[in-house]
Every structure is written in C-alpha cells, then in structure tokens.
Structure 1
Amino acid sequence: MNDLAARIDHMLSLSDLPENTPDEIRSAIRAVPRHQFIPVVALVTPPGTAPRLIDRDADPRAWWDAVYSNTPVITQLNDGATPVRDLIGRYTSSASAPSTVADMLTLLRPAPGHRVLEIGTGTGWTSALLCHLVGGRGQVTSIEIDQTVAEQAAKNLAGAGAPVTLVVGDGALGWPPGEPYDRVHVTCGVRTVPYAWVEQCRPGAVIALPYCPDFGGGHSLKLVVRPDGVAIGRFPGNASYMMSRPQRPRPTLEARGPHEQRSATTRVDPRTIAYAPPGADLAISALTGLVSNFSAETDEDGDCFRLWISDPTDSYSWAGVLWRPNRKDYEVYQVGDRPVWDEVLDAYSRWVGWGQPGRDRFGMTLTPHHQHIWLDSPDHPLP
C-alpha cells in the first residue's frame, strides 16, 4: 500500500500536470487508483518512442510504471477488431493521460450534489473520479457506444465501488431519463456539438468537451448554458482525443476523371499550414470546414513532406501539397470542383490579417439550429 501511495503521489507531482488542478480533483485521483481500470495487457505510446505493450504478468514493474506515469494507455484497436498485442491499428479506446483527465475535470469543476452526464465511459476511471467528486448514488450517468468496452467498464466500476449509471448507446443523444444535468463531461472528440447535451442541462450548467474539427490539433471547449437554451464558451487550451465514432472524417480520396485533376505550384511552404498555431487552425476549420493530415517521409527522391487537405463530406474534393528541400515552389495536386488548397490559403491570410489571434480569443455559440465560431465576442461570428 505504501508503494501504491508513492506511485500516486509521483503521478500527481509530475511537472506536466496542470498547476491549477484543484485540491478536490487531486484528492479524487488519490482516492480512485488508476490501476483498477487498466487491463493486464495494454499499449502505451510515450512521446518520442515507438508503441509498446505493457503486460502485468510478463513484466509487472513496467506495467506499474506505465500506469502511474503521465501517459495514455491504449486499451482497444480498430473498434475491437484487432488485438492490442498486434500493436498496429487505429486507437479506438483508452485511459487518458492523468494530466488530460485533470485538465478537463478542472474545466468542468463538478461539485457535491451535481448531476453529471459523461459521454464516453472508456475504462471507467473518469466516471469513478466524477462519482467521487459529486457523491451519492445515481448522480453520474455515463454513456459508452461500444458494448464490449462498456461491459469491462462496468466490472471496473463495480470493483472500485463506484455507483455509476452505465448506458450503452450513442452519446450524441444524451440520456433524457437522467436530466436535468449540472455538468456534461465529454471524453471523445467532436466537430459538431450535439444540441441534446445543452437541451438536457439546467441553466448555468457547464459542458467540457474536446472540440476536434480535424484541421490541426484539437481544442478544449468550455460551454455554459444560458436560460434561453443557448450555450456559449471559449477554447482555453489543447485537447487531443479520439474522435466520436459517428463523427470520424475519413473519406476515401478519389477522382472521377482527368478533367477534375489539376497540377500547379505554390510558393507557400505546406509546413506553414501543417504547423500553424492553434488560432490559425481554428480559423481555417471554421472558415472552410476542411480537414487536414500530414506526414514526413523519405521516398526514392529523398526527404519530403506531404500535406493533405480534404472535404470530410466529399471524397472527390481534396488536395495534396508536396515539400522537398531546396525548392522555391512546391507541387500542388488538386482534385474535384472545390479548390480546397486555395480556400485554405485564403483562410490563413484572413487569420494573418486579423493580427494572428491566439486560440483563447475564439469562442463558440451553440443554439438549437446551428453552431458557429466567433472571434473576441459572440457578436463577431466568423463569416
């Protein structure tokens, strides 16, 4: 037990845990040990290293060290179709890094007596933390879309003595039987915030979620529900989460014919867009609705960098931009009627013209009919 307490204290003292983490959240992390929610075999990806397995039976020391470090633990690949031991595949469920959990709970600020709706149960650790923070039986409802993940979470929660109401279903619909909620805690990335979450809240309720439009990185978003049913909030920081299953933007990039394939050049280094600050990412995604991904590679012609821009609703509208060293111009290959690369450059130029505002100057308004991003004030929505 002393060794466990030391491990928990070490995790809480890590330099990258948020300095503003309230004492009650630190106390909850002490009271709900993380190892109770980690499977015997899992996958970890510490920064700068290749993915590796942790196996409590084969190497207990490495397992315990990973569980009580500030790293996410991957518990599912490819929605359960691939065993974790295979190492390769889409990460589809995990126990988030302790710093990430603490950061989102700090935004949420659950208090004793609050009714909480959680979207995405995962291993159940954050559900148990929420249960500890608000107290009482039936105060926390958690929705998990994956039946197998939910079954394991139920076992974990029962073993930890956490009386969470666990529902298997689509979290975008919320859970009307448990409303009205004082807090909504979201553990999966979304680009479209379901209004059902607002509709099932009391006025003054807080919704903390990872906003992940998939252009650049993700952003934490704290919304507050007004008496008129409109939710308004800002983007206080970074949030890197797996996307909600119904909102994964992965169209297959296609082309109908030669007339829709165009080659050109650009003077803009594609890395300027790929590594743009979070404020630029927010502006570009809000103005265009496009998504991006990139990779640094080495091919038969040497080192290169590829940036892909695509319309998540149209597999025939996309662009690839290729960087190579010692070039003044970079190749652009566009497909479809929509000039997605040109739109991105225009949006980036607008952001520069606004004075390159940071992420904290942007916010979101969510109504029953739409969501929109604004700059500095809700009265200034992005066009």
Structure 2
Amino acid sequence: MNVAGRVDALADGLAAGGELTDPAWRAALHAVPRHLFVPPVAWADPSDEPGYAIDRERDRSAWCDAAYSDRPIITQLDDGTSDVRGGKGRYSSSLSAPGAVVEFLELLDPYEGDRVLEIGTGSGWTAGLLSHRLGDGNVTSVEIDPEVHERAARNLKEAGRAPRLVLGDGTEGWAEGAPYDRVHVTAGVRDVPYAWVEQTRPGGVIVLPWMPGYEPGHKVRLTVGADGTASGRIAGGARYMMLRAQRPPAASGPGGGGDVREREATVDPRRILRAGYGLDVALAASLPDVSAVVADGDPARVWLWAAGAGAQTVGSRVRQFGDRDLWDEVEAAFFRWLKWGEPERGRFGLTVTSQGQHVWLDDPGRPVTG
C-alpha cells in the first residue's frame, strides 16, 4: 500500500472541500496513518450507499480503500455484543470520517505546548494526531469501554505514540491532569458536563458535537470565561454516537395506553421539517427534554417523546398522548422562530454554567426558552 500517496489524496480532497486548511494537520495525517487504527474486520458506513463489511485478510484492497476514504468505519456494535461484520445494531464505537475529525481539530485550534483532554478515545486515531502535534505528555484521552481502551492502546503503540490513556467515564473529565487548555470531545453530548468547564483554564476552549434530542447535531466551540462559565456559537453540523451516559431513552408510541388526542396539524409538518437548521436549533432549545425521529418522506412522519408524553404525525394528521401536547409545543416554537426573522444556525450559541446550559440567539444575554 502506498501510504504516502493515499494520505496525500485524502488530504487533497479534504483541502478542496474546505475541511483541511492547516498544514500542521496535513503533516499529522502523514505521521499517524489512519490504517493503523482500522481493525482487521469492521463495517464501512458510507453516507450515500449501503454499508458493507471490510476484511483485511479477504480483500486487502477494499480494506485499504475504506481506511483512506472520507467515511466513518464502525468498529463496535451494541457495546461489543454484536458481530460488527453484520452491520446491524447500535453503533457504539467508530473511527470517524477524516473530514469530521479534521474539522473538529481545526476548530480546537491548539497552540504548541497546550494541554488537551480528549473525551472518547475510540480507535485512538485523534489522540495520536493530537500527540504528534502537541507531544505525548500534553494529551490525556478518556475512554469508558475497556475493550475499546485496550485496542486504542495497541493501535497507538504501533503508531509510535504514547498519550496518557485513562479508562473511565468521560463525563467526569480527568481532574488529575487539570487544568487543560483545550477539551476535545469525540462523542455526542446532549448536556455539557460542568466538570469539563471546571477542568479548563480560563480562556481555554471546549469543542464538542452537541446532539440535542431534536435532530440533527451541531458543532459547538465554547470558550471558558474567568467567571467559571463557558459560552460560544454553533459552528456547523455534526453527527456522532452519543456519550453512553447520555444515550436517549427508548421511544414510545401512541396507542400504548392513556388518552390519545387527534387533530389536523395547524401548519403542514413539511414546512417544519424543511425549514432548515436554524429552526432545528430553536426546537432543540425550546424542547430540551424531548427526543425526536423525523422521516421527510411521502407522507412525512415525525415521532416525538418525553417522560410521560409522546406524539406522532403522519402527513398532516397528528396524534398526541400523555400529559403534554408535544406537537403543539413544536408548532409554537416554529411560530416564535418565524417572529424572530427565521434566524440561521450560526446565529445561535450555547452557554454552560454550574446550574446547567441554555441556548441563546445572537448574544449570550438573549436566551431561548420554551
């Protein structure tokens, strides 16, 4: 395998797409080759076609192609209880797509000598890239899964990198190494743990995939202030596996008991589904405890659920049950967003304090509430 040629081709594609702009990360891609972190057997997950198993022994060429494509590779299903070659089950660990990795590393923007805490070691590749850039002694990476933790240690050793690897719950950070200049989060986060803010020095930065209950996810860059809060704007889209401690509850559906209320939607649900990411953020902020799955097909379908309540739309027909009318709440948030002038995603931000978090519009002093 011509590793240098494959890395150059990958990097050129990322540069052309705007994900890769810093030559230092291009150098890191060469120094820490991605194929060293791909298991012998895994599941390739392209976004534009069905996934497929890759096996280094059976088809080395396809395995190498997957290793140097801008696509995620699933390395574990159902926390290790399902065979990854089948591709069926909950994705629980992966080697993220290079474009997503580089975008977050560039958003992190570490300086030479910065101390970095990484939440979610996974395959170990991003820890290796950070270690090449900053030095092994400046990188601490926390992983909750023992099997994934051990595999990452082997991968990093083969790549010649030795960051500090911690087996533990990333929501708690790693206080022994604090304070950090940067916190790099590689798993979806619904509620930002305040421990990460406490362990970051004032002026430091936390980057994370914010994955609220209402789809989709968003890149967020928070800066920690001298007052012990962290705040920053949404910087684009992201889709990541959730932190294990923050996985959403299982969905429940109408008809399982209780009072089911039916009506016609006030506004065509397609208008809501297709309004854009700005509305998605407004909905997530207005309904922070609500989870959703949407399918913008024919007919469009939406499933919403929260503790003690749920809703479903099929076309323009709405069914709601439990102690809240969740679709009514969605429509109310939609009309508020219209009154605000239909702001786009980049006008929203997130602030985290010791009391929790809130979304704001244009300015941290303008919180968005339900």
User: Same fold judged by TM-score > 0.5?
Assistant: yes
Q: 1:219 to 1:252 in 2, by over 3 A?
A: closer
Q: Which amino acid aligns with 1:241?
A: Y
Give the Å deviation of 1:270. Answer: 2.4
Q: Which runs of 5+ in 1 are unaligned?
A: 298-302, 324-329
Is this contact kept in 2: 1:7–1:68, CA < 8 A? Answer: yes
Residue 216 of structure 1 contacts residue 274 of structure 1 at CA under 8 Å; is this kept in 2? no
Identity %: 49
Judged with a 3 Å threshold, the aligned counterparts in structure 2 of structure 1 residues 259 and 101 are, in CA distance, closer, same or farther, namely closer
What displacement does 1:260 show?
1.9
Which 5+ residue runs of structure 2 have no aligned equivalent?
A: none
Cα pair 1:362 1:373 within 8 Å, conserved? yes
Aligned to 1:304: 299
**Cα contact 2:19–2:102 (8 A) shared by 1:** no
Quote the Cα distance in structure 2 between the aligned partners of 1:363 and 1:304: 33
* Secondary structure, aligned partner of 1:304: coil
The equivalences for 1:213-252 within 5 A come to 213-252=212-251
TM-score by length of 1: 0.92
Q: Distance in 2 between matches of 1:91 and 1:259?
A: 33
Q: Say whether the 8 Å CA contact 1:17–1:102 is kept in structure 2.
A: no
Cα–Cα, structure 1 residues 109 and 50, in superposed 2: closer, same or farther, change >3 Å? same
Structure 1 CA distance for aligned equivalents of residues 253 and 325 of structure 2: 15
Task: Kindly provide the amino acid, as one letter, of the partner of residue 75 in structure 2.
Answer: T
Question: Aligned residues, how many?
Answer: 367
Matched, 1:375 2:361: yes
Task: Provide the rounded CA distance (Å) in 2 between the counterparts of 1:251 and 1:85.
Answer: 25
Letter of the 1:361 counterpart: R
1:14 is displaced (CA, Å) by 1.1
| d(CA) in 2 for partners of 1:242, 1:118 | 15
Separation of aligned partners in 2, 1:185 and 1:19: 17
1:333 and 2:319 equivalent?
yes
Instruction: Give the letter for the 1:306 counterpart.
Output: R
Amino acid corresponding to residue 44 of structure 1 in structure 2: A
Q: CA deviation at 1:267?
A: 4.6
Match of residue 139 from structure 2: 140
Separation in structure 2 between the aligned mates of residue 43 and residue 256 of structure 1, nearest angstrom? 36
Alpha-carbon distance in structure 2 between the residues aligned to 1:144 and 1:243: 13
1:261-317 CA distance string (max 9 Å, x none): 1122115332333333111111111012222102367xxxxx533210112xx1x31
1:323-368: CA deviation from partner (whole Å, max 9, x where unpaired): 2xxxxxx211111010100000100111111111111101111111
Q: Give the TM-score, by structure 2 length.
A: 0.95
> In the alignment, is the contact (CA less than 8 A) between 2:254 and 2:319 conserved in 1?
no
Classify the secondary structure of the residue corresponding to 2:299.
Answer: strand
Is the CA contact 2:251–2:305 (under 8 Å) kept in the aligned structure 1?
no
**Cα separation, partners in 2 of 1:196 and 1:111, compared to 1, 3 Å:** same
Tell me which amino acid in the other structure corresponds to 1:348: F
Does the CA-based 8 Å contact 1:21-1:103 persist in structure 2? no
- Does residue 295 (structure 1) correspond to residue 330 (structure 2)? The answer is no
Q: Distance in 1 between matches of 2:93 and 2:20?
A: 27
| Cα deviation, residue 258, structure 1 | 5.4
**Offset at residue 370 of structure 1 (A):** 1.8
1:131: which partner in 2?
Answer: 131
Runs of 4+ off more than 6 Å: none
Matched, 1:362 2:354: no
Q: State how far apart, in whole Å, the 1-side matches of 2:266 and 2:228 are.
A: 46
In structure 1, how many angstroms separate the alpha carbons of the residues matched to 2:100 and 2:166? 24
What's 1:300 paired with? none
Task: State the SS of the aligned residue for 2:26.
Answer: helix
Task: Name the aligned partner's letter for residue 107 of structure 1.
Answer: L
1:317 aligns with 2:309: yes
